[in-house]
Amino acid sequence: MAFSWLSFVSILSLILNCYGISRWDVFSTKTKYEWAHSTTANIDEYFTFTDGSKMCKAVHVNMVTRHGARWPSEDDMEDIKEIHERIIESKQSNVYPALDSWIPRYEESNEKQLTVEGQKEQQELGARLGLRLKTLFENNGQYIKYVSSSKSRTKNSNVFFHKGLLTNISTLAEYSNEVNDALMRFFDECDNYEESMESDDNIEELIEFSKSLIFANITASLKEKLGISFNPSEDEIILINELCAHEKAIFNEESVWCELLTDNERIFLEFRNDIEKYFESSYGNRISSKISCPLLGDMFHTMDKAINQEWDYNNMRDVSSNGYLAGKFYNGHSDTLIPLMTSLEIFKDDVDLLLSNMEALVNRKFQTSKICPYSANLAFVLYVCDDSNSTNSNSTITTDRSFMLKMFVNEQPISIPACKADTCLYDTVRQYYSDLIDKCDIKAFCDDDDDCDDGTCGASSLGVSLIFVHLMALILRLL
């Protein structure tokens, strides 16, 4: 089917009008958690389920969470001031007078720090998990562990997550946090990953966006609305869109910046940002499915230690020497979570994210506003399943014990690819991902020129591509 922007807009408008949706949830990875996920929690709703004659009870949870809503970067703060000044100097005085009185409230000392809203997101997330697994933590809350990256926003996120757990659980171990960038920022020292983020496919798709009629229409519309003499660049339009998100998330205000783009324009920009993330950090990057293996391996090795055929999980004693944890909570970044999701083979569409596929991907799985907003999370809950007819009088050992696994993304159960069901045998899931868990050699595919069968990973190819991008950008500005 040929791509038609008009038909795409018609479909979106119909959806929005029918459901009365106010679209504040389309800011890609700058999306506030509650815009994408409105959740409530019930006591022990994750704790038990039945599997035939077996009663299954949660014995362990590990959760990887992205940090909460944050302040913009220092570079973005400077760019915000510059685009505001540029618009004020050029715009017609009688349009959008609120822009004249608008004052940037972005201080460099806050750059990339957790906002008050981000603190709230993490605390409420911890409180909900504590409620959903209340019995597990009341029994074994002394066996929990926190891990974060070295960034203050992730360390502080774990602090507030723990405060949330304490809302409903009083038997937790004293808070401590391990900083481990090898697990939480595995992408930092991976040369091939960085180079793949600038792949020809990614660059070509973003150039297609820059040259598209849709983008030209957004540029013309913005120029006409403001009465400005210059054509806003692609980066400036993206920044205006993100500034709307920052103003809403940080100050909870109906900002004038949100009036400059329509809902349909924001939806298109979201698709553009999804394309970028798709080729940088997910299925469009040839090593994204491998790079999170240190983290994935740690998660499964922790679950391995939580499995024992003889333990009475209702009455655990000093088992710390055996490595048992009731909960392990990791806090990282969007570039932690998206490659992890990719390695697990979830949120994968049948076709690549391309501008030409936009109409067919209105309801795509890989939608970063929904799968990776601020405070996005992915959790494995491990269950011990005992046959109710074969449990002995002490409730400690059964003759037919098994271990099952459930996976949750943003607090909702998700089908596990290993068995295409919401609940799988632990051994089945572990075997499915065994190469990533047990054969993780991140150095082998991160070093320069490794894992480059097509010979396109070297610096020379990257340099040519980047030069091409800069030339195209210059040409587009002159047109």
User: Does the global pTM surpass 0.85?
Assistant: yes
Ordered DSSP codes for 259-281: GSS-HHHHHHHHHHHHHHHHHHH
Domain ranges (residues) in the chain: 5-441
DSSP conformational letter for 346:
-
Tell me which of 94-103, 184-193, 223-232, 427-436 is least confident.
184-193
Tell me which of 40-54, 199-213, 288-302, 435-449 is least confident.
199-213
pLDDT at position 200 is: 63
Element (H, E) at 425: strand 423-425
Examine the pLDDT at 19 and tell me if it is beyond 70.
Answer: no
Distance between CA atoms of residues 317 and 197, nearest Å: 48
pLDDT at position 399 is: 55
Examine the pLDDT at 35 and tell me if it is beyond 60.
Answer: yes
Question: 4-16 in b/e burial notation, b at 16+ Cβ within 10 A?
Answer: eeeebbeebeeee
Q: Are 43 and 131 in contact (CB under 8 A)?
A: yes
pLDDT at position 316 is: 85
Tell me which of 203-207, 230-234, 347-351 is least confident.
203-207
Secondary structure of 165-211 as H, E, C letters: HHHHCCCCCCCCEEECHHHHCCCCCCHHHHHHHCCHHHHHHHHHHHH
Tell me which of 191-195, 227-231, 282-286 is least confident.
191-195
Topology of domain 5-441, per CATH?
Rossmann fold (3.40.50)
Examine the pLDDT at 394 and tell me if it is beyond 60.
Answer: no
- Give the contacts of 422 (CB within 8 A, at least 6 positions apart): 406, 407, 413, 414, 415, 416
Q: For residue 469, what pLDDT band results from cuts at 50, 70 and 90? A: very low
**CA angle in degrees (0–180, nearest 5) for 226-230-232:** 75
Mean pLDDT of the region 231-244: 95
| Structure-block tokens of residue 226 | 């403001």
